[in-house]
């Protein structure tokens, strides 16, 4: 970008719309761990059976199945605040009440009521995710989607950190019921953001029937040239990174790091490195564009996975661990921001909620299926060979970039136009 264009770039970075993306991310990230780690800690503290605590993971199903009711949100517009903000206001209000209600349940004596209240939190939280994803796609032009996505992701992570870290710290000093009431109040900035933000313009029409809202997004998507290649790319782009990440904690322990060292270096230092990576990635995408960013960040991701093999060869070294974690989390933050921006950019604005919900659900498949055999692989290959294998598994995703996000800018624009 030339010097004369620097001012518009700074205006994009520090615009009010980018602040909206950050605050909406915070509102989406906050509820997630309130039904996982914080709730698990509460149930364990009051003596709930571990089998029951494990089964509570099922209340998270709405995050995986949100594509089922996303068409409803594309089809119908409420009579206030517009197509997106109207639904967003409803879901944020219901989230505040359901998080508060979860705090008034009794895990020791009525776990079924806890499960019901937690399910309401995850349902309204997943619904909020649908609308916020659609809002971000419809409000930002493609060249700003990368930065907007990175700020959303960072806001999401800060919300998660406040809920899990802050929630557990507060629970040492007050009842869990009070913690949940405080967390419900922490949803208010998101509510205010919804009321003050502008409504995205409807530029591509809206579905006129439920049939159109349900079936047309699939028909439209698969009518595109290269649609299957894009789905394959979404499945494979971060698969090596995901597989390596699934076994890092046992790896750290196995080569001699203490739990305190893991918590300090990997979790705390790593968290801020990821935040920095997403921000740097977002700013670089303003210069590189989404397609070229996928190439650069994808290579960095693969190299960072290979660095774990170097750590396995060296063994115990806090300095090397810190370097590997800094590089891995920086590149992972960049790659995730580009990945999210790419998925948003290929949705049709007439069916944004439905198509984006489907793509993000598909994105979650490798996290479950590809992570399952990692323990077996690590046990039989050894740590060094395992991480080399994870690096090589990233190659198909990178090769698919030739099809779905070519480096050549002219070709990239042509491909992007077919998804508009």
Q: What is the pLDDT of residues 113-169, one digit of tens each?
A: 999 999 999 999 999 999 999 998 888 887 788 888 888 988 998 998 888 888 888
Q: Answer yes or no: are the C-beta atoms of 86 and 78 closer than 8 Å.
A: yes
* Share of residues in the chain with pLDDT > 70 (%): 92
Contact assessment for residue 88 and residue 135, using Cβ atoms and an 8 Å cutoff: yes
Burial 198-233 (b: 16+ CB within 10 A, else e): eebeeeeeebeeeebbbebbeebbeeeeebeebbbb
Spell out the residues 6+ positions from residue 409 whose beta carbon is closer than 8 angstroms to its own: 289, 291, 292
Which tokens is 369 given? 């299926």
Q: What is the set of domains in the chain, with CATH numbers?
A: 3-202 (1.20.1250.20), 214-417 (1.20.1250.20)
3-state secondary structure of 288: helix
Q: Are 186 and 100 a contacting pair, CB within 8 Å? A: no
pLDDT at site 28: 95
CA-wise closest residue to 361 among 234, 241, 207, 238:
234
**What is the Cα–Cα distance from 164 to 266, expressed in whole angstroms?**
16
Q: What is the pLDDT of residue 307?
A: 93
C-alpha distance from residue 112 to each of 51, 59, 377 (Å): 13, 11, 38
Tell me the per-residue pLDDT of 186-228, one tens digit each, with 9 for 90 and over.
999 999 999 999 888 887 778 888 888 888 888 888 888 888 8
pLDDT tens for residues 256-289?
888 788 778 877 787 888 888 888 888 888 888 8
* Cα 149 off chain centre by: 9
User: Which has the higher per-residue pLDDT, 317 or 370?
Assistant: 317
- The predicted-structure confidence for 1-31, as pLDDT tens digits, reads as follows 444 444 466 677 777 888 999 999 999 999 9
Q: How confident is the model at residue 420 (pLDDT cuts 50, 70, 90)?
A: very low
For the chain, what's the residue count? Answer: 420
Predicted local distance difference test score (pLDDT) of residue 340: 84
Greatest CA separation found in the chain? 66
CA distance 53 to 115: 10
φ/ψ region of 406 (left if φ > 0, alpha if ψ in -120 to 50, else beta) reads beta
| Residue 335 contacts residue 298 (beta carbons within 8 Å) | yes
Task: Quickly state the pLDDT bin for 415 (edges 50, 70, 90).
Answer: very low
Say what the pLDDT of residue 411 is.
Answer: 39
Question: What is the SS3 assignment for 140?
Answer: coil
Condensed to tens digits (0 to 9), the pLDDT of residues 310-353 reads: 999 998 998 998 899 889 888 888 888 888 888 888 888 888 88
Tell me the per-residue pLDDT of 96-112, one tens digit each, with 9 for 90 and over: 999 999 999 998 888 88
pLDDT at 366: 66
Mean pLDDT lowest among 110-114, 283-287, 360-364, 401-405:
360-364
Helix 270-288 and helix 290-314, axial crossing angle in degrees, nearest 10: 150
> Based on the number of CB atoms within 10 Å of its own CB, is 170 exposed (0-12), middle (13-18) or buried (19 or more)?
middle
Instruction: Tell me whether residue 116 is exposed, middle or buried, using C-beta atoms within 10 angstroms of its C-beta: 0 to 12, 13 to 18, 19 or more.
Output: middle
In the prediction, which pLDDT does 8 show?
67
At residue 347, φ and ψ (nearest 5 deg) are -85, 150
What's the rounded Cα separation, in Å, for the pair 236 and 99?
Answer: 35
Q: Tokens representing 179?
A: 């913690």
pLDDT on residue 1: 42
Estimate to the nearest angstrom the gap between the alpha carbon of 151 and the chain centroid: 11
Q: Is the pTM of this model over 0.85?
A: no
pLDDT value for 314: 92
Q: Indicate if the alpha-carbon torsion angle 119, 123, 125, 126 is positive or negative.
A: positive
Query: Is a pLDDT exceeding 60 seen at residue 412?
Result: no
CB distance 119 to 334 below 8 Å: no
Q: Using alpha carbons only, what angle is made at residue 325 by residues 310 and 266, rounded to the nearest 5 degrees?
A: 120
> 132, 88 in Cβ contact below 8 A?
yes
Q: Is 269 exposed, middle or buried (0-12, 13-18, 19+ CB in 10 A)?
A: middle
């Amino acid at each position: 970008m030339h010097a004369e264009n620097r001012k518009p770039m700074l205006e994009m970075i520090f615009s009010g719309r980018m602040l909206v993306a950050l605050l909406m991310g915070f509102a989406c990230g906050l509820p997630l761990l309130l039904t996982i780690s914080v709730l698990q800690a509460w149930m364990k503290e009051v003596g709930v059976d571990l089998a029951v605590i494990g089964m509570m993971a099922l209340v998270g199903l709405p995050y995986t199945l949100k594509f089922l009711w996303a068409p409803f949100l594309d089809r119908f517009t409420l009579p206030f605040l517009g197509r997106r903000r109207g639904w967003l206001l409803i879901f944020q209000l219901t989230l505040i009440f359901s998080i508060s209600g979860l705090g008034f349940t009794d895990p020791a004596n009525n776990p079924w009521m806890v499960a019901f209240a937690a399910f309401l939190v995850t349902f309204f939280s997943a619904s909020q995710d649908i609308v916020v994803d659609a809002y971000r796609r419809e409000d930002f032009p493609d060249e700003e989607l990368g930065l907007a996505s990175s700020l959303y992701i960072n806001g999401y992570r800060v919300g998660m950190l406040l809920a899990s870290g802050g929630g557990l710290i507060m629970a040492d000093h007050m009842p869990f019921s009070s913690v949940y009431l405080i967390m419900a109040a922490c949803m208010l900035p998101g509510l205010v953001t919804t009321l003050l933000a502008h409504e995205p313009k409807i530029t591509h029409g809206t579905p006129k029937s439920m049939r159109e809202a349900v079936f047309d997004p699939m028909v439209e998507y698969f009518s595109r040239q290269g649609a299957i290649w894009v789905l394959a790319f979404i499945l494979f782009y971060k698969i090596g990174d995901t597989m390596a990440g699934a076994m890092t904690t046992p790896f750290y322990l196995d080569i001699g790091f203490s739990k305190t060292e893991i918590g300090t270096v990997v979790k705390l230092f790593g968290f801020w490195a990821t935040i920095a990576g997403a921000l740097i990635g977002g700013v670089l995408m303003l210069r590189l564009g989404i397609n070229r960013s996928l190439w650069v960040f994808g290579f960095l991701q693969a190299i960072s996975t290979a660095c774990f093999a170097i750590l396995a060869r060296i063994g115990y070294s806090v300095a090397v661990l810190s370097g590997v974690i800094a590089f891995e989390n920086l590149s992972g933050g960049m790659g995730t921001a580009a990945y999210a921006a790419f998925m948003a950019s290929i949705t049709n604005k007439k069916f944004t909620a439905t198509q984006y919900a489907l793509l993000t659900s598909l994105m979650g498949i490798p996290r479950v299926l590809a992570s399952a055999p990692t323990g077996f692989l690590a046990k039989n290959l050894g740590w060094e060979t395992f991480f080399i294998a994870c690096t090589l598994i990233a190659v198909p995703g990178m090769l698919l970039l030739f099809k779905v996000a070519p480096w050549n800018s002219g070709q990239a624009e042509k491909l992007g136009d077919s998804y508009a």
